[in-house]
Structure 1
């Protein structure tokens, strides 16, 4: 046997444990999930498997892993994809390599396990036929080298993990919501998701201008029953990228409340690593996957149908991994001119995958930008880079320690994906969870919502097995907990919404309507119950089109719906799906 090769015997049987994972990924999810589910008959066909332990081969594999896999997978816990701690022990190498090479073909050929994976995880990975056999050998060598270090991580000190964190399911609200299809967004890809339509927002000071962005780089204005291009990010910023998915691209946008007068609006977008020096960076020992950029744009003529003007960069952030970026910026729509919050820009910064990539300290540190909601004054100049200001009423604005991150409004989030306000001025922050909990939080200045030590109202071991949660200790204190949460029996990624204020469905008035990105279920809760320090109980709405019951999985004909919510003029309430790009409007509601 060569000195750089390790040979082990495959077991004759094994136990499979794979919890349903989050769904927001486009890379090697299929085969990496598959590694945990191989059947006994397949194992029996390969009694021995060899993996190189040559340091140069492992180094090549590490680079391939970082390029293709690390956004979704690691070796200490389940993240977007499953924990890889034992995959090379559980699955024969040849099947792994074949599946990486062309997973869709395996599904089409009727491979039982491949189809089980597709049925369970609701998506298939693309083929990777460009990878050579030597690449695959190196990739598996690296995975094997890491898994030997990861096996044996335990959390006994925290007590038994919660097998079903929230035993009670979400009950029906007893309301039937009528939807009417309005339009279909232009397809920006040939494969699902066809249109990555994400955030819908009206222009302040205008009664009828409504906008919608496709994360792949286009900001549309909704005109009648069609979408007109208002701005193309690739045309404005040549370094713009929208790969590898996972929220990368044109992340968010926000019009200044005085846009009609000053023509100012703001965007976030992604660029390649090291495109320019970052305002928020970390040690060179950590990989930079990409950069998020916040830009202020000045429209020459605010009434013009398309963008023409200039932009200036406000800040730039390095990210360890592509996911959990800067996917939300917004102004407080309830703030009035002259009030302390008027014109302040809120910025939701995710942890950038730092926790899943063993750099949890980036989001745990209160003086680092990751895992925070920031608040800045775009018109100010007293930031460290001099391009924006720190609002005087920020909770840490007057800190004397020069290391204090004075931009922070609140912290402790994995992915603060949406920030909205109820009509009475209550700030609502959604946080897309890891492997167990999804949550809505009331925004409180200076509050800590717990990540990476808490997920929902449960304890999580960020240095151990992150696909588990534990009961809180009796002396638990210091964290602010969600006002609404649900576990992954009910869905896998929260899609935040709005309080219904329209006239088409009076029975929905005063209800905060939201749902789940993946399965497309639609939930509601009385907005009056969204108060810090108390738990509100969500209920499920049933849907109808032309009087017939339906679901978004049925409408999209796909298990992953990519559901989003928006509000237009006069309180019109929209629901739309990235999977097929179709946009619906609530046109009625009746009691069941």
Structure 2
């Protein structure tokens, strides 16, 4: 099987689209059925599919014309079986999830909606012969190092369906207490230790408008404690709510759909030492999103900033393009006056913003430049999923790519990293077929290159990590450890080799889990592992997989 085939998530539908078999079967044209189908699509399908561009899965604007209705129904119920029986694909390829839980009428309504969105192929979206088949031919090398992990326990299930526990963000209080917290996207912030998780805050009880569907990253995106938390009791969260829950502070033309809103909230606890939250909250701002993907995935403070530093107490916020590019609205994230596709820096205690609820620091790069949004620290990201400072002070921004390239970037004030016109060190064309990337060929547009990148022969979505800087595991010291969300590979680069705009080599660990050479796909019994990383109070590294909710600790390397 070719590397090109292996890189394609949900590849089977691309092959479906290439097998023309014009359907004569009638679909329900009733507006109520179509509306119900739209609602099902938004929850079940829209995180991966749309009708304009290929995303995680292919765009679906011609699917009804090219496959019989009964075949589509069978495929929806059991795509893996269809692949095995009819298309004879390699088992390593990732099939879309089965929708056997949908009732017959729900499937009919879903197909009615998809049928209502059919259109002729757009010539602008045609495959170009100049597109790169394999953008990065060099493979990630397997290092001689074996990373040893120990299983700790399984997080409490927050669903009876995969992913069982959407454990996501680990945060350490940057004070003498060194308490560690871990969040679940479904709305729970836990106290974390190596034996158990204890609930600290439950969003479902505190925020009635809160939602964690639709979408793969909808919910409690991130949280961060103010560096003076023990004194002022302040911490911050990014979460999602239904469209039009309240008037947004940042929006776009009302002719463009709103799928949901992301909200930045400040919380004040009555007692910072309490094991559970009691207190108040206030909203800092909310922003509309075109789709349910690439929202406000990260908020954090610079842990190395001291009270005398200008960065102290300033909150960094990663906001993606909201799916605007692949939905046909790249101008939303392209416009420098907008917040989408940017890393922001604000002063939560200030009030010189337009809504008066937060401050824009005087040292922000565009504070006095009317061509830009003053909140922006740097821009040009599709999905700035995690922000992390290395022990030597570099700001690392991971950016989850479209269909070709995953990035690690060094964030610096005022720089543009290229989205929606760059994916890694390659050209991408948002007005053409975004499945393809192109060689720069001397293009000198001054976008900043990533510091490490890999293409989709090697993985599908970057999972950011941490530098191990302790002495307990000498072989790991100085390595930035990260991985791939989907295939569960654990990777590393040398922190000393991470330099602005200079590509460094990535290597892969062999994994020993509880004394056995293994991999996370095998342990999860699923082609998607949903791999994440955390770092504890003493610099130790944790690894967890949302698919099964298991939490591991890195205990050695040799």
Deviation string 1:163-219 (CA, Å, 9 cap, x unpaired) is: 111101011221111111122111111121111001111111034411100000100
Cα gap change, 1:245 to 1:138, in 2 (>3 Å): closer
Tell me how far apart the structure 2 counterparts of residues 343 and 573 of structure 1 sit (CA, whole Å): 25
Given candidates 69, 72, 77, the residue that maps to 1:96 is 72
- Alignment match, 1:560: 528
Q: Is contact 1:355-1:363 (8 Å) kept? A: yes
Deviation string 1:118-171 (CA, Å, 9 cap, x unpaired) is: 862255233321645762553243232x2x052563365xx6111111101011
- Alignment match, 2:502: 534
- Alignment match, 1:344: 314
Cα gap change, 1:149 to 1:424, in 2 (>3 Å): same
Cα gap change, 1:178 to 1:378, in 2 (>3 Å): same
Deviation string 1:311-337 (CA, Å, 9 cap, x unpaired) is: 100000111100111010000111111
- 1:376 correspondence with 2:354: no
Cα gap change, 1:512 to 1:482, in 2 (>3 Å): same
Tell me how far apart the structure 1 counterparts of residues 365 and 341 of structure 2 sit (CA, whole Å): 16
Tell me how far apart the structure 1 counterparts of residues 385 and 54 of structure 2 sit (CA, whole Å): 20
Q: Is contact 2:34-2:110 (8 Å) kept? A: no
Aligned-pair distance for 1:246?
1.5
Given candidates 83, 104, 125, the residue that maps to 1:153 is 125
Q: Please list, as runs of the form range in 1=range in 2, the aligned pairs for 1:95-494 lying within 5 A after superposition.
A: 95-100=71-76, 103-104=77-78, 112-113=85-86, 116=89, 120-127=93-100, 128-129=102-103, 131-132=105-106, 135-136=109-110, 138-144=112-118, 146=119, 148-150=120-122, 153-154=125-126, 156=128, 160-399=130-369, 401=370, 404-494=372-462
Tell me how far apart the structure 2 counterparts of residues 464 and 61 of structure 1 sit (CA, whole Å): 31
- Alignment match, 1:37: 15
Cα gap change, 1:72 to 1:38, in 2 (>3 Å): closer
Cα RMSD over matched residues?
2.7
Cα gap change, 1:109 to 1:390, in 2 (>3 Å): closer
SS at the partner of 1:120? coil
Tell me how far apart the structure 2 counterparts of residues 481 and 516 of structure 1 sit (CA, whole Å): 20
SS at the partner of 1:569? coil
Tell me how far apart the structure 1 counterparts of residues 159 and 248 of structure 2 sit (CA, whole Å): 31
Q: Is contact 1:176-1:542 (8 Å) kept? A: yes
- Structure 2 residue runs of 5 or longer lacking an equivalent are none
Given candidates 490, 508, 511, the residue that maps to 1:522 is 490
Q: Is contact 1:61-1:138 (8 Å) kept? A: no
Cα gap change, 1:19 to 1:66, in 2 (>3 Å): farther
Tell me how far apart the structure 1 counterparts of residues 308 and 555 of structure 2 sit (CA, whole Å): 37
Deviation string 1:22-43 (CA, Å, 9 cap, x unpaired) is: 5xxxxxxx7xx65433499x97
Q: Is contact 1:51-1:141 (8 Å) kept? A: no
Alignment TM-score, normalising by the size of structure 2: 0.93
Aligned-pair distance for 1:510?
0.7
SS at the partner of 2:512? strand
More off after superposition, 109-118 vs 211-220: 109-118
Cα gap change, 1:117 to 1:53, in 2 (>3 Å): farther
Cα gap change, 1:21 to 1:246, in 2 (>3 Å): farther
Cα gap change, 1:226 to 1:87, in 2 (>3 Å): same
Cα gap change, 1:47 to 1:293, in 2 (>3 Å): closer
Q: Is contact 1:246-1:324 (8 Å) kept? A: no
Tell me how far apart the structure 1 counterparts of residues 42 and 83 of structure 2 sit (CA, whole Å): 31
Cα gap change, 1:486 to 1:47, in 2 (>3 Å): closer
Q: Is contact 2:75-2:82 (8 Å) kept? A: no
Q: Is contact 1:297-1:310 (8 Å) kept? A: yes
Deviation string 1:344-388 (CA, Å, 9 cap, x unpaired) is: 000000111111111111111111111111100001000000000
Aligned-pair distance for 1:584?
0.9
Q: Is contact 1:58-1:139 (8 Å) kept? A: yes
Tell me how far apart the structure 2 counterparts of residues 375 and 510 of structure 1 sit (CA, whole Å): 28
Tell me how far apart the structure 2 counterparts of residues 322 and 162 of structure 1 sit (CA, whole Å): 29
SS at the partner of 1:296? strand
Tell me how far apart the structure 2 counterparts of residues 85 and 110 of structure 1 sit (CA, whole Å): 21
Cα gap change, 1:63 to 1:557, in 2 (>3 Å): closer
Tell me how far apart the structure 2 counterparts of residues 47 and 345 of structure 1 sit (CA, whole Å): 54
Tell me how far apart the structure 1 counterparts of residues 433 and 439 of structure 2 sit (CA, whole Å): 15
- Structure 1 residue runs of 5 or longer lacking an equivalent are 1-16, 23-29
Q: Is contact 2:155-2:549 (8 Å) kept? A: yes
- Alignment match, 1:11: none
Aligned length: 553
Tell me how far apart the structure 2 counterparts of residues 342 and 271 of structure 1 sit (CA, whole Å): 30
- 1:77 correspondence with 2:53: yes
Deviation string 1:39-68 (CA, Å, 9 cap, x unpaired) is: 99x97xx77525679796997598455565
Q: Is contact 1:296-1:311 (8 Å) kept? A: yes
Tell me how far apart the structure 1 counterparts of residues 104 and 317 of structure 2 sit (CA, whole Å): 38
Cα gap change, 1:345 to 1:113, in 2 (>3 Å): farther
Tell me how far apart the structure 1 counterparts of residues 388 and 149 of structure 2 sit (CA, whole Å): 23
Cα gap change, 1:221 to 1:58, in 2 (>3 Å): closer
Alignment TM-score, normalising by the size of structure 1: 0.88
Aligned-pair distance for 1:503?
3.2
Tell me how far apart the structure 2 counterparts of residues 59 and 548 of structure 1 sit (CA, whole Å): 51
Deviation string 1:7-28 (CA, Å, 9 cap, x unpaired) is: xxxxxxxxxx977445xxxxxx
